[in-house]
Each structure stands twice: as C-alpha cells, then as structure tokens.
Amino acid sequence: MDLDLGELQFAVPGLFPHGVNLLAGPPKVGKSLLSLNMALSIASGEKVFGRVPVDQGDVLYMALEDGPRRMRDRLDKMGVSQPPDALDFTFDWEQFGQDGEKANSEGLLKDVLIARQRSGQDYSLVVVDTFARLRESANAGANAYYDDYDAVQDFRDVAHALDTALMVIHHTNKLGSGEDPYMRVSGSTGITANVDTVAVFERERIENTAKLHVSGRDIEGQKLGMGFDPDDLSWTLEGDYNTFQMGDTRQAIYDALKEADEPKGPSWVSERLDQIKDDTIRKEMGRMVDAEQLAKVGRGQYQVKEPNLF
C-alpha cells in the first residue's frame, strides 16, 4: 500500500488504457477506419473522435489485412497528404508460432523493438489489424478457453513489456441482437477474460451511426453513440448512446430539463412545451427514465441523466 505505483496511463483517456484493448465487430463495419482515426489523432495530438483530448504519442499501425495501396487510398480520402511523422505503418508480420523463433510473443516483441529502434519512436499505441492474422495457430484437441487465453497472453506480454496500449482488432459472431454484446466476440470467453478492455462495435451497414460498447478492468463501462462521415471517413463521438438520436418529443423534453437548474416535474415541462400534450409529456418522461435518459429525483421530479463519459 505504501508503494508509489504511478497513475494508470491511457492512449485514449477513459476508454483505452495501456494494456490489451480488444476492438470487435462484424466484418466491414468500420473497425479499421475507427482505429485509423484514433491512430492519426494520437500521432498528431488532436482530439480522438473529435471530442476526447489526448497526449500526442508515437503510433505503430500493423495493417495486416490491407496493403499499402488501400491504406494510401484511405488516407487520401481522409485528406491526409502526408501522415504524421509519429505514425509508423507496417503491412507484413510473421504469425505467432510460424517457426521456432516466433513460437510466442518473444518474436513480436523483438520485431516491435527493432521497428521502434529503426524509427526512433516509443510507441504509446500499437494497432494490430487483425487478431486472427497474428495469433498463434490453435492447437488441435486443446481446450478452446485455455487456448484462446494463452493466445491473448502473447499480446499481453508485448503490451506490458513496452508499457503501451495494444489495440487488437477482432470479429464478432452472428448471435442475435438481443444477446449480451460482449458475448458476441468470436471465439471462447478465454479471449475476453484475458484482455484488459473489450470494445464491441455495432453498426447497420447502410447507416452512418453506430454503437460502441466499452468495458474493462480499469474503466467504467460505456455505451457510446458514434457518427460516421463517408466524405472523409471520420468517426465522431456523439455522446452517451441512451441520449443519442432521440425522437423530437424526447429531445424537446431532454433539452428543457437540461436548462433547468434543479429537478422539475411534468407540469413545469408542459408550460415550456405547450405544443406537446400534457399526457404525452408525462408518458414520455416515464419512458425516458426506463431508457436511462432521465433520472427520477424524489416524488414526481425529474432531471437529465448526464452521461459519465470521461
């Protein structure tokens, strides 16, 4: 208890600390773009997702499923003519267990250290796109939980040895929308058990909005609303998902209560929203409590439930 252990370090404050962070979602929904947005922001010292201030740091982006041409096309569309000097890309890396030298995390750690020495960069974020392209091959007949747990341990060894945030991109399965989002991570629970933070990305393919669930050992769980701009391939953080994209009536109630300096009742709201029926306001305010958009304080008094983002 007397030890000075220092403060927990973050690549993105409140969301992604140093350690192994797993970003999972269905194929082709924007996980790589989300992580590329993050990498560019950290390398340039700009706000991540247009909202979260970060310390500028060096970044290694391991684009193992994309070649240089696709990456250049994405950067061009983002308006990036020249990536920041602090951002280093690699497009090829040997898989764990590929030969004797790469039998475990020592191979990756050695190569990252060499890349760091070559570029002179001390990485605060390393993006691995994807987990499947780098993890050690599964052992035939092995227990799936322990095999997946051991596979993640290779990444943990690297993250802790480098004292960096490792963002590992992975896929989800096809379970129904009513399932726990964290249970949709592909593979056994050995994967989610051994990472430090799990983020699950949900998006309808034709929509420019998404939901990002984030939970971890060292952070408070979040359910965030994200917006996508197809013109420049940018993801922005819109806020708590419970208050993201509310209908007109709920938005009007929310805005009215947000301006109040203390909890108010439906009658007070009705006086300010005379275009909406009193009965409608009362019913919607009750539903908004259930949806965690409002908090009920005392008898018949309500206030905005402010999202605890960061």
Tokens of 220: 């408070």
Mean pLDDT confidence for 237-248: 79
Q: What is the tens place of the pLDDT at every residue in 58-77?
A: 999 999 888 899 999 999 99
Stretch among 120-124, 178-182, 276-280 having the lowest mean pLDDT: 178-182
Cα separation of 303 and 285, whole Å?
A: 10
Query: Of the ranges 11-25, 110-124, 283-297, which is most confident?
Result: 11-25
pTM of the model: 0.80
Of the candidates 246, 247, 278, the residue with the CA atom closest to the CA atom of residue 265: 278
Give the CA diameter of the chain: 75
* Domain annotation covers residue 33: yes
Residues 149, 270: one domain? no
* Domain annotation covers residue 3: no
Task: Work out the burial of residue 7: count CB atoms within 10 Å of its CB; fewer than 13 is exposed, 13-18 middle, 19 or more buried.
Answer: exposed
Cα separation of 123 and 86, whole Å?
A: 9
Mean pLDDT confidence for 219-226: 87
Mean pLDDT confidence for 156-180: 82
Residues 68, 207: one domain? yes
Mean pLDDT confidence for 292-304: 86
Residues 238, 255: one domain? no
* Domain annotation covers residue 150: yes
Residue 269, domain extent:
248-304
CATH of the domain at 286: 1.10.10.10
Residues 43, 85: one domain? yes
Q: What is the tens place of the pLDDT at every residue in 29-40?
A: 899 999 999 999
* Domain annotation covers residue 182: yes
Mean pLDDT confidence for 263-278: 90
* Domain annotation covers residue 14: yes
Domain boundary among 201, 217, 242: 242
Q: 146 to each of 12, 131, 167, 184, 185, how far by Cα in Å?
A: 30, 16, 21, 18, 16
CA angle, 132 then 134 then 140, to 5°: 65
Domains: count for the chain: 2
Task: Work out the burial of residue 66: count CB atoms within 10 Å of its CB; fewer than 13 is exposed, 13-18 middle, 19 or more buried.
Answer: middle
